[in-house]
């Protein structure tokens, strides 16, 4: 029985078809009251969003609305903001929060769970695709610990814009349907420095085929609850990896010993091993994309790693502006830099190892999992080389010859404080003809041209000479190379300072900047007339400004 009012339908949402498979097939927390607690032997707890004072739709994604089977303009019906702000449900919604654990900054944190996220239900669109609708910032749940379960406009806008930008950049990601202001204020200490202030509250609706994370499996393994672990893995394979289901070829052959609680699993150890291998593969592909566009997640805890290989949980993320492999946007990580840009591929491998430790009871032996971890490393390295060849305009990457050239470039980018995004766009305009000049399109990417001294300029000139020769060796015309490079090197990314400008204007009641920016980010590889402000380098005033350089986990 719902305590919130229920709407049968909305014109902008059409006739959404809910098929809440997660709550139908997985074990439920028997406690129906919403209070903080440890939840055992259950994958979720029933909980409804907390009603807010004055929900108002600030922005939405037409593409995501169509994706779930909706149509029209949500601004035309105030009930849309009420539903996706937490004041009302749509018929068929069955709200719940999920139970999971995780390793945070390398240490086991125990039960975490959806502390400020509430799943509304699972929509099956006309194409048969399953999409989970989830509100972030919709109030407390049994997993909120000491927090209030709410979110501020600052963090919600950042998640909304980056979710959609990443999709259009071609990076696997969760999506964002809507951004709703709540009409209430939320107290947040942005940098945990004893200076809390009131900020406008907001709720973002996230959309994904699944929000299951590595930590979902870790929590049950850590408790020795192999029955629930097996049930969850079986559900995940059936729902999100159906192509892996096939007759077990070793059904009549003696198998390695498997934990007793997993002996009655629907699938044999081979299927579980293939599933883990797939997760390793998609995670490797995801990390290659992050490195391609200069994205830094900021908090790669195992509870923030999607089992589908999607970018999930946009908190203190950031974008490389000047290239620095040691840069992290997360203030909490400022001393250790565990999650800095250059460490991300290795951290993903570490996280996969924790997942392997959780599911080894189902596989019965470690070797298949170890082999998959090794293949992750191989897949990432191969993918990185292919990616770098694309960014540099080469048809293929020849490791022995190209590694020194690539390594020298990355050193130059760092030593010259060079804008990562604008450099590769400018490099596409460099002629491959024999020329010892230093093109203006390269110098334009430097943050402080006056600090690029003569020795650095000499290194640049030498590198460009070698680069031009490498390009000529493949015989591509400048025009074809430029076109190929501009397909993988974006000109528009959700830069940190642009996000802060959008937040400043939205908090002042002006959503036009956000709307204009979102429109440009829909085509990030194509130059948009009049959109130069969205491609500009970080201005000096933003170098150390809060929200433009470093952020906290509340961001």
State pLDDT tens for residues 199-232.
Answer: 999 999 999 999 999 999 999 999 999 999 999 9
pLDDT band at 1 (very low <50, low <70, confident <90, very high): low
Q: Please report the pLDDT score of residue 347 as a whole number.
A: 98
Active-site option among 29, 114, 225, 303: 303
**What is the three-class DSSP state of 175?**
strand
pLDDT band at 546 (very low <50, low <70, confident <90, very high): confident
Mean pLDDT of 61-70: 96
Q: Are residues 161 and 86 in the same domain?
A: yes
Q: Are residues 450 and 466 in the same domain?
A: yes
Q: Is the pLDDT score of 130 beyond 80?
A: yes
Q: Is the pLDDT score of 151 beyond 70?
A: yes
Q: Please report the pLDDT score of residue 265 as a whole number.
A: 63
Q: Are residues 383 and 269 in the same domain?
A: yes
Structure tokens at 447: 């943050």
Q: Please report the pLDDT score of residue 266 as a whole number.
A: 85
Write down the mean pLDDT value for the chain: 93
Q: Is the pLDDT score of 254 beyond 70?
A: no
Residue 160 lies inside a defined structural domain of this protein = yes
Separation between Cα atoms, residue 405 and residue 219, nearest integer Å: 45
Q: Please report the pLDDT score of residue 436 as a whole number.
A: 82
Q: Are residues 66 and 154 in the same domain?
A: yes
pLDDT in tens, 409-464: 999 999 999 999 999 999 999 999 988 889 999 999 999 999 999 999 999 999 99
Lowest mean pLDDT, pick from 199-208, 229-238, 277-286, 535-544: 535-544
Q: Please report the pLDDT score of residue 295 as a whole number.
A: 98
Q: Is the pLDDT score of 382 beyond 60?
A: yes
Q: Is the pLDDT score of 259 beyond 80?
A: no
Residue 1 lies inside a defined structural domain of this protein = no
Residue bearing the bigger pLDDT, 112 or 195: 112
Residue 484 lies inside a defined structural domain of this protein = no
pLDDT band at 13 (very low <50, low <70, confident <90, very high): confident
Taking CA atoms, 387 is separated from 70, 322, 381, 420, 490, in Å, by 36, 20, 10, 15, 13
Helical segments of 439-477, H only: 440-443, 454-472
Q: How many domains does the chain have?
A: 3
Q: Are residues 464 and 428 in the same domain?
A: yes
Q: Please report the pLDDT score of residue 2 as a whole number.
A: 81
Give the H or E element holding residue 44.
Answer: strand 44-46
Q: Are residues 207 and 301 in the same domain?
A: no
Out of 354, 370, 389, a domain closes at 389
- For CA atoms 258, 259, 260, 264, the dihedral sign is negative
Give the H or E element holding residue 102.
Answer: strand 101-104
Q: Is the pLDDT score of 515 beyond 50?
A: yes
Residue 357 lies inside a defined structural domain of this protein = yes
- For CA atoms 180, 181, 187, 189, the dihedral sign is positive
Q: Is the pLDDT score of 290 beyond 50?
A: yes
Q: Are residues 370 and 407 in the same domain?
A: no
Q: Please report the pLDDT score of residue 262 as a whole number.
A: 41
pLDDT band at 323 (very low <50, low <70, confident <90, very high): very high
**What is the three-class DSSP state of 444?**
coil
Is 303 labeled as catalytic in the residue annotation? yes
Q: Please report the pLDDT score of residue 194 as a whole number.
A: 74
Tally of residues, the chain:
555
Q: Please report the pLDDT score of residue 246 as a whole number.
A: 72
Q: Are residues 44 and 162 in the same domain?
A: yes
Residue 551 lies inside a defined structural domain of this protein = no
Closest CA to 77 of 68, 65, 67, 95: 65
Out of 475, 506, 538, a domain closes at 475
CB atoms within 10 A of CB 53: 12
Give the H or E element holding residue 275.
Answer: helix 269-293
Mean pLDDT of 23-39: 97
For residue 171, what are the domain limits?
6-215
Q: Please report the pLDDT score of residue 10 as a whole number.
A: 86
pLDDT in tens, 476-506: 899 999 999 999 999 999 999 999 999 999 9
Residue 499 lies inside a defined structural domain of this protein = no
Q: Please report the pLDDT score of residue 257 as a whole number.
A: 44
Residue 311 lies inside a defined structural domain of this protein = yes
Q: Are residues 297 and 236 in the same domain?
A: yes
Is residue 214 within 8 A of residue 351, CB to CB? The reply is: yes
Out of 362, 389, 416, a domain closes at 389
Structure tokens at 269: 């150890």
pLDDT in tens, 159-178: 999 999 999 999 999 999 99
Q: Are residues 309 and 438 in the same domain?
A: no
Strands 89-90 and 6-7: parallel
Closest CA to 102 of 408, 272, 290, 354: 354
Q: Is the pLDDT score of 551 beyond 90?
A: no
Q: Are residues 68 and 204 in the same domain?
A: yes
DSSP 5: -
Is residue 350 within 8 A of residue 307, CB to CB? The reply is: no
Q: Are residues 192 and 57 in the same domain?
A: yes
Half-sphere exposure of 31 toward its Cβ, with a 13 Å CA cutoff?
15
Mean pLDDT of 141-148: 95
Residue 446 lies inside a defined structural domain of this protein = yes
Separation between Cα atoms, residue 435 and residue 441, nearest integer Å: 15
Q: Please report the pLDDT score of residue 543 as a whole number.
A: 87
């Amino acid at each position: 029985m719902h305590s919130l009012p229920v709407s049968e339908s909305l014109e902008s949402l059409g006739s959404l078809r809910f098929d809440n498979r997660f709550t139908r097939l997985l074990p439920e927390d028997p406690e129906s009251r919403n209070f903080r607690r440890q939840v055992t032997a259950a994958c979720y707890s029933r909980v409804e969003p907390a009603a807010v004072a004055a929900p108002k739709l600030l922005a939405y994604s037409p593409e995501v609305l169509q994706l779930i089977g909706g149509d029209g303009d949500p601004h035309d019906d105030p009930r849309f903001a009420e539903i996706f702000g937490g004041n009302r449900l749509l018929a068929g919604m069955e709200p719940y929060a999920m139970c999971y654990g995780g390793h945070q900054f390398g240490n086991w944190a125990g039960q975490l769970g959806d502390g400020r996220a509430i799943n509304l239900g699972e929509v099956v669109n006309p194409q048969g695709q399953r999409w989970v609708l989830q509100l972030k910032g919709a109030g407390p749940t049994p997993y909120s610990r000491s927090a209030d379960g709410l979110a501020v406009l600052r963090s919600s806008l950042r998640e909304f814009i980056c979710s959609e930008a990443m999709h259009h950049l071609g990076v696997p990601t969760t999506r964002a349907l809507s951004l709703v202001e709540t009409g209430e204020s939320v107290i947040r200490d942005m940098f945990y420095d004893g200076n809390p202030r009131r900020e406008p509250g907001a709720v973002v609706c996230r959309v994904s085929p699944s929000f299951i994370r590595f930590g979902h499996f870790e929590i049950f393994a850590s408790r020795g609850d192999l029955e629930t672990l097996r049930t969850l893995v079986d559900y995940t394979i059936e729902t999100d990896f159906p192509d892996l289901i096939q007759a077990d070829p070793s059904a009549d052959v003696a198998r390695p010993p498997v934990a007793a609680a997993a002996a009655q699993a629907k699938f044999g150890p081979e299927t579980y091993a293939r599933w883990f291998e797939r997760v390793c593969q998609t995670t490797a592909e995801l990390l290659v994309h992050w490195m391609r566009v200069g994205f830094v997640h900021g908090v790669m805890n195992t509870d923030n790693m999607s089992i589908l290989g999607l970018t999930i949980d946009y908190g203190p993320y950031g974008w490389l502006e000047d290239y620095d492999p040691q840069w992290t946007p997360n203030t909490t990580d400022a001393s250790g830099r565990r999650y800095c840009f250059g460490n991300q591929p290795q951290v993903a491998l570490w996280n996969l190892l924790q997942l392997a430790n959780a599911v080894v009871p189902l596989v019965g032996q470690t070797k298949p999992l170890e082999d998959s971890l090794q293949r992750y490393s191989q897949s990432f390295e191969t993918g990185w080389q292919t990616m770098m060849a694309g960014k540099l305009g080469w048809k293929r990457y020849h490791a022995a010859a190209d590694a020194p050239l690539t390594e020298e470039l990355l050193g130059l980018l760092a030593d010259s404080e060079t804008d990562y995004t604008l450099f590769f766009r400018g490099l596409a305009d460099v002629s491959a003809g024999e020329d010892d000049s230093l093109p203006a399109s390269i110098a334009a990417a430097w943050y402080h041209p006056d600090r690029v001294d003569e020795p650095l300029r000499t290194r640049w000139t030498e590198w460009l000479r070698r680069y031009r020769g490498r390009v000529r060796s493949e015989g591509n015309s400048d025009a074809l190379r430029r076109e190929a490079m501009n397909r993988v090197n974006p000109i528009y990314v959700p830069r940190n300072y642009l996000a802060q400008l959008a937040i400043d204007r939205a908090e002042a009641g002006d959503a036009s900047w956000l709307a204009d920016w979102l429109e440009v980010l829909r085509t990030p590889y194509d130059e948009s007339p009049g959109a130069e402000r969205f491609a500009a380098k970080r201005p000096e005033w933003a170098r150390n400004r809060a929200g433009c350089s470093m952020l906290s986990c509340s961001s």
